[in-house]
């Protein structure tokens, strides 16, 4: 006989959450997911009631579940959906379509930064360059910058991202074992603006295991992408996920315990580690180490490569 939901005791349980000792029916699971977002936002004081919040949407399940869940958790708050179209053939337009659908569904304003239209380049252009093995890192640099630009245009000072518990733990392990202490501090649930004028970054899914965002999207019928990014194959992310899976097998609480320890550690580190000093980029004002930010460097580089190509033709 199927077991009953531990919360409502009437519907059949379909989702088991071993770390919480809970088996829930779909309705109670959705409620549980949304309440955890609400508690996380309140615990870390991520935003005030009167602050409009930008949500970085990628088309993937995490950011989709995040925006949908935030709308349910805070029905009176103003949210704005932000999307960066990187010009990856097929994939970027597919993701944009899903992101638009989602913004429509939850009834929020939607802003797009189209890299091709605005800068005349696409992420794909980096494929034939020295960055061919580092496309994901170029992508990260571009997104960090363009989401700030979008936030400015949308008039929001808070930017929510869909980083989930597994993402955070994966980054933490990597940075921990490679001794990248300043990076470790960046994984906090709330990151103040690095320089005035930029956004405060918040991670309302920091306590949400990856698998639960997928379940949330499926049960709540939230639109999200149906294809993978062509550059994501065999990346470190998948290795990290496998490692977390193995470590959690004998101890369902492993992820939660590790997160708590790392958050404590990052507080200690914050007091003791000196952050590299930053100066505004002379071109765009974004933080940089030496006067030109990583984004402006990459854009200038790829434009040069492309113009050489046209000269040679």
Q: Which stretch binds ligand FES (CB under 6 A): 24-32, 37-45, 131-139, 239-247?
A: 131-139
Q: Which of 17, 136, 247, 269 binds ligand FES (CB under 6 A)?
A: 136
Q: How far apart are the first and last CA of the chain?
A: 71
Task: For Zn ion, give the closer residue by CB, 205 or 293.
Answer: 293
Q: Which stretch binds ligand FES (CB under 6 A): 16-24, 184-192, 225-233, 283-291?
A: 225-233
| Cβ neighbours of residue 274 closer than 8 Å, sequence gap 6 or more | none
Task: Output the CA–CA distances (angstroms, integers) from residue 93 to 138, 190, 208, in the order listed.
Answer: 19, 30, 28
Decide if residue 131 touches ligand FES (CB under 6 A): no
The option from Zn ion, ligand FES, none interacting with 105 (CB < 5 to 8 A, set by class) reads none
Decide if residue 231 touches ligand FES (CB under 6 A): yes
The option from ligand FES, Zn ion, none interacting with 229 (CB < 5 to 8 A, set by class) reads ligand FES
Question: Which residue stretches of the chain are H helix?
Answer: 26-43, 61-73, 91-106, 115-119, 135-154, 165-177, 181-185, 210-220, 236-249, 254-272, 294-312
Tell me the closest approach of the beta carbon of residue 244 to ligand FES, in angstroms: 21
Decide if residue 263 touches Zn ion (CB under 5 A): no
Task: Output the CA–CA distances (angstroms, integers) from residue 39 to 69, 70, 131, 168, 212, in the order listed.
Answer: 12, 11, 41, 18, 16
The option from ligand FES, Zn ion, none interacting with 296 (CB < 5 to 8 A, set by class) reads Zn ion
Contact positions vs ligand FES (CB under 6 A): 135-136, 139, 229, 231-232
């Amino acid at each position: 006989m199927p077991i009953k939901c531990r919360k409502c005791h009437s519907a059949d349980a379909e989702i088991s959450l071993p770390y919480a000792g809970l088996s829930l029916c779909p309705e109670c699971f959705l409620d549980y997911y949304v309440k955890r977002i609400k508690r996380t936002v309140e615990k870390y004081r991520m935003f005030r009631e009167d602050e409009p919040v930008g949500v970085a949407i990628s088309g993937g399940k995490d950011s989709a579940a995040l925006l949908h869940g935030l709308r349910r958790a805070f029905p009176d708050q103003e949210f704005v959906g932000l999307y960066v179209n990187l010009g990856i053939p097929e994939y970027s337009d597919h993701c944009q379509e899903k992101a638009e659908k989602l913004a429509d569904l939850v009834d929020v304003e939607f802003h797009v930064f189209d890299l091709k239209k605005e800068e005349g380049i696409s992420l794909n252009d980096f494929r034939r360059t020295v960055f061919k093995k580092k496309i994901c890192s170029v992508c990260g640099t571009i997104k960090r910058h363009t989401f700030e630009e979008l936030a400015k245009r949308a008039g929001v000072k808070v930017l929510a991202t869909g980083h989930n518990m597994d993402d955070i733990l994966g980054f933490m392990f990597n940075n921990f074992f490679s001794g990248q202490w300043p990076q470790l501090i960046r994984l906090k649930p709330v990151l103040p603006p690095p320089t005035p004028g930029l956004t405060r970054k918040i991670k309302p899914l920091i306590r949400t295991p990856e698998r639960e965002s997928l379940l949330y999207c499926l049960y709540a019928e939230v639109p999200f992408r149906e294809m993978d990014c062509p550059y994501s194959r065999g990346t470190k992310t998948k290795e990290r996920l496998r490692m977390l899976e193995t470590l959690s097998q004998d101890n369902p609480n492993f992820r939660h315990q590790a997160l708590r320890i790392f958050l404590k550690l990052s507080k200690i580190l914050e007091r003791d580690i000196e952050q590299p000093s930053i100066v505004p980029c002379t071109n765009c004002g974004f933080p940089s180490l030496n006067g030109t930010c990583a984004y402006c460097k990459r854009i200038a580089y790829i434009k040069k490569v492309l113009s050489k190509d046209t000269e040679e033709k």
